[in-house]
Structure 1
Amino acid sequence: MTQFPRIKLRLSDDYEREFGPDRFPGYLIAPDIAAYLVDGEELAFLTVDPTNEPGLYIATSGHSYGGLTDDPEDIPRVVGKLRSMSAWDFYERFFLRTAEAADFDFIVLIR
Structure 2
Amino acid sequence: MIAQDAWTAMFHSAAGTLDADEDGTPIMPGGWRESVLRSMLPHVLPDLQPVDALQEILRRREKGYGWAELQTGVQFAAGRRSRNGRNLTTAVRSLGAAQETGGAR
Is the structural similarity TM-score above 0.5? no
Q: Give TM-score, length-normalised by structure 1.
A: 0.29
Higher relative contact order (CA 8 A, sep 6+): 2
**Higher radius of gyration, 1 or 2:** 2
TM-score calculated relative to the size of structure 2: 0.30
Give the number of the structure whose residues are more often strand, by fraction.
1
